[in-house]
Structure 1
Amino acid sequence: MHALIRTARTTGLLYLGLAVTGALGFLLIRPRLFTVDDPGATLAHLVEHESLARAGVALELLIVVTQALAAAWFYRLFRNAEPLAAGGIAAFGLVNAVAILASAALLATAVQVGLNPVGDAAAAVQVLYLVSGNLWGVGALFFGLWLIPMGSCVLRSGWMPRPLGWILVGGGIAYLLGAFVRYLVPDSSGIADALALPATVGEFWMVGYLLVRGVRRHALDQAPSNEPTAAPAAS
């Protein structure tokens, strides 16, 4: 297998890991623990489901790991074709990973406060979950920003379908707008969710393409001569 194909498929696996851990942690576990308007319920859920709360912290850490590694591997994949845009993917992805790292620390603190109360534990836990959620909200800026150079790499390299590149660019812009809409327009979660749809489509298309196809055949001919390759299979 050509080294570029191996890099593409490793990138796809890491991106898939990011999607799975994000869905499990933020979309599945968090809503079972956090009640927006009831601090007492949040504290009760956390104490009653301690193992689930700890799993939520672990999943946030896995999000950080997969995001950081995916950012590095996207850079490795596109660095020779589009070095500036590839650097943008890496930089924006790493900043988003740092935001989620801070969120994980807040969730870990919420578990500690809930199990070993200090002062008004319900209020403290609620604030920690609120700040964690807002770190996800503002971190969406950098998640949108990392999709734009990703789409640019697709368009300028020609290694993947051009519609995929345009969806990633458009999805990244829409994701950025959604981050502002969520804070500027109260009760606008439906609009923000709709703006995130193109990004979701582009992400899953990218994951699938990386895992199944890797890159187009002509990309292998463009790979630099010093790119390590595996020995060709016997015919």
Structure 2
Amino acid sequence: MTSINKDARRAGLLYLAFVITCIFAGVVRSNLIVLGDASKTADLLENSMWLLRISFIVDLVSAVLFLLAAWALYVLLKPVHKDLALLFLLLNVAGVAVQCLSLLCLFAPMLINGSADFQKAFQPNQLDALNLLFLNLHKSGFVIAQIFYGTWLLPLGYLVYKSGFLPKWLGILLIADFFGVMIWFFQFFLLPGYDIITYPGLAISFIAEFSLSLWLLIKGVKTIP
């Protein structure tokens, strides 16, 4: 196996691991949080706080995997255009930093529910509202990270398209993914309640990122004469 194919398969493995862990954490968390209903969320958390802890740890692992995947893609694509490869790596680093900061809000309910001082200082309904506030802040922080995660797809998609050793359609998918993520970002902050307009873009994101990871892992890259 050539060196470039080793780089490609390493990038594909890391990216696929990121996608799987990110989805797993999101699915676990979605069964514990009812945004807009503090009481129901409190009941779910009281019975399954350990699942929230698992989601928190998996999210941290996912962020590290994404950063490593970006580094592996940088190694693979820097011969195409070093400056643009560095740009998408830096955008990824910024997104990971924002995401990890938002995870502190996800950890807050664990501190609140496990602290006798909080239990004494607040009424149960106040604690429920406080927990939901932090969970909402976590979601908002994660969406803020998407402006970096979305923007990194432009130089990444362009380099994949221009590489000559990866299919051009993968590059086009990644660029389309950029628009899908940006629609999600602006919808969340400007048009709350209109989630339906983000569904096509999120579907494209799923297809694009799974396609990239699987192609790199299974097919690798073609050798340029």
Return the TM-score normalized by structure 1.
0.88
- 1:20 matched to which residue of 2? 20
- 1:175 matched to which residue of 2? 181
> After superposition, what is the alpha-carbon deviation per residue over 1:83-107, rounded to whole angstroms, capped at 9, x for unaligned?
1221122111111111221122221
> After superposition, what is the alpha-carbon deviation per residue over 1:58-95, rounded to whole angstroms, capped at 9, x for unaligned?
01111211111111111111112221221122111111
User: What displacement does 1:193 show?
Assistant: 2.0
Higher mean Cα deviation, 101-110 or 17-26? 101-110
Q: What are the residue-to-residue correspondences of 1:127-142 with 2, within 5 Å?
A: 127-142=133-148
What is the rounded CA distance, in whole Å, between the counterparts of 2:14 and 2:101 in structure 1?
21
What is the rounded CA distance, in whole Å, between the counterparts of 1:50 and 1:62 in structure 2?
19
Contact 1:138 1:179 in 2 (8 A): yes
Q: CA RMSD in A?
A: 1.4
Residue 162 of structure 2 is aligned to residue 163 of structure 1: no
Candidates 194, 198, 201, aligned match of 1:192: 198
Candidates 140, 146, 160, aligned match of 1:154: 160
Please tell me the residue identity of whatever aligns with 2:81: E
Contact 1:92 1:145 in 2 (8 A): yes
Q: What are the residue-to-residue correspondences of 1:194-209 with 2, within 5 Å?
A: 194-209=200-215
Contact 1:60 1:100 in 2 (8 A): no
- 1:53 matched to which residue of 2? 52
Contact 1:11 1:70 in 2 (8 A): yes
**1:215 is paired with a residue of what secondary structure?**
coil
What is the rounded CA distance, in whole Å, between the counterparts of 2:102 and 2:187 in structure 1?
21
Aligned residues: 218
Contact 1:71 1:90 in 2 (8 A): yes
> After superposition, what is the alpha-carbon deviation per residue over 1:114-157, rounded to whole angstroms, capped at 9, x for unaligned?
22251332122111100000111121111211211111111121
Contact 1:110 1:125 in 2 (8 A): yes
Contact 1:114 1:122 in 2 (8 A): no
Please tell me the residue identity of whatever aligns with 1:122: D
Residue 88 of structure 2 is aligned to residue 82 of structure 1: no
What is the rounded CA distance, in whole Å, between the counterparts of 2:113 and 2:56 in structure 1?
14
User: What displacement does 1:15 show?
Assistant: 0.5
Distance 1:202 1:16, change over 3 A: same
> After superposition, what is the alpha-carbon deviation per residue over 1:188-230, rounded to whole angstroms, capped at 9, x for unaligned?
1111122222222211111111001111121xx5xxxxxxxxx
User: What displacement does 1:165 show?
Assistant: 0.8
What is the rounded CA distance, in whole Å, between the counterparts of 2:171 and 2:52 in structure 1?
37
Contact 1:144 1:176 in 2 (8 A): yes
- 2:71 matched to which residue of 1? 72
What is the rounded CA distance, in whole Å, between the counterparts of 1:20 and 1:154 in structure 2?
22
Residue 39 of structure 2 is aligned to residue 33 of structure 1: no
Task: Structure 2: give runs of 5+ residues left out of the alignment.
Answer: none
Contact 1:106 1:128 in 2 (8 A): yes
User: What displacement does 1:44 show?
Assistant: 2.2
Return the TM-score normalized by structure 2.
0.91
Please tell me the residue identity of whatever aligns with 1:109: A
What is the rounded CA distance, in whole Å, between the counterparts of 1:197 and 1:108 in structure 2?
29
User: What displacement does 1:111 show?
Assistant: 1.0
Please tell me the residue identity of whatever aligns with 1:107: L
Please tell me the residue identity of whatever aligns with 1:98: A
**2:36 is paired with a residue of what secondary structure?**
coil
